[in-house]
Amino acid sequence: MNQPLENKRALVTGGSRGIGAAIVKRLAREGAHVALTYVGRSDQANETAKAAQAFGVPAIAIQADSADAKAVIAAVEQTVAELGGIDILVNNAGIAVMAPIDDYRLEDFDRALAINLRAVFVATQTAVKHMKTGGRIIMIGSCNAERVPFVGGAVYAMSKAALVGLVKGLARDLGPRGITVNNVQPGPTDTDMNPANSEFAEMLRTRVMALPRYASADEIAAMVAYLAGPEAGFVTGASLTIDGGFTA
């Protein structure tokens, strides 16, 4: 079995379910030793870790709320201690609180920025202290950074658009050290948080998408695995969109 990530050490934040869980399992399938963070569902996190272990690699679940900067730092340090280092960081944890501007609560605004942006910065800053040449930093952004065809998505879109600038700047900072930094921008993806059989999904499929379907989480994970692997060594500072034509 081809394992391009054999013995690489990876941390996936928010990796217990949905796109994050698919990324954890794909990296493990390709030979990476994987840590994942979760907030509240230890059973779900442990189930994902066990699924990764089934590929014959170490996998651990670490409880850490990405809204807590100290918890994010501790999760990176625990990954380094238990896996023996870190080669790949996937900043996947994120939240989407949707509301029109008149109704948007300041506490939701602050939490969105804490999880979608500050945690990304903190995890990256901590991880690169341990990374060597060939390291990979991968953000999970959103196609909403480029298009918001519905009401209530302004703050979410802002937080994901900010990742584009962060990635470009970090690519310059870390390029001389041989570390790449990239951003994956998924479109509508079938998860428990955004199911493909909802009325909202039907609206997107019929009015917005070029391909009239949702992505599977595995399709997003495949792009992440590419960026984490040796064939993407010359890709950095990029935002790669996988959205079924959402932004076309």
- The full DSSP string for the chain is ---TTTT-EEEETT-SSHHHHHHHHHHHHTT-EEEEEESS-HHHHHHHHHHHHTTTS-EEEEE--TT-HHHHHHHHHHHHHHHSS-SEEEE---------TTT--HHHHHHHHIIIIIHHHHHHHHHTTT--TT-EEEEE--GGGT---STT-HHHHHHHHHHHHHHHHHHHHHGGGT-EEEEEEE-SB-SSSS-TTSHHHHHHHHHT-SSSSPBPHHHHHHHHHHHHSGGGTT--S-EEEESTTTT-
Residue 53's DSSP bridge partners are none
Residues 61, 46: Cα–Cα separation, whole Å: 6
CA 8/CA 1 separation, integer angstroms: 16
Q: Which of 38, 156, 214, 226 is catalytic?
A: 156
- Residue 104 is among the residues annotated as catalytic for this protein: no
| Positions marked active-site | 156
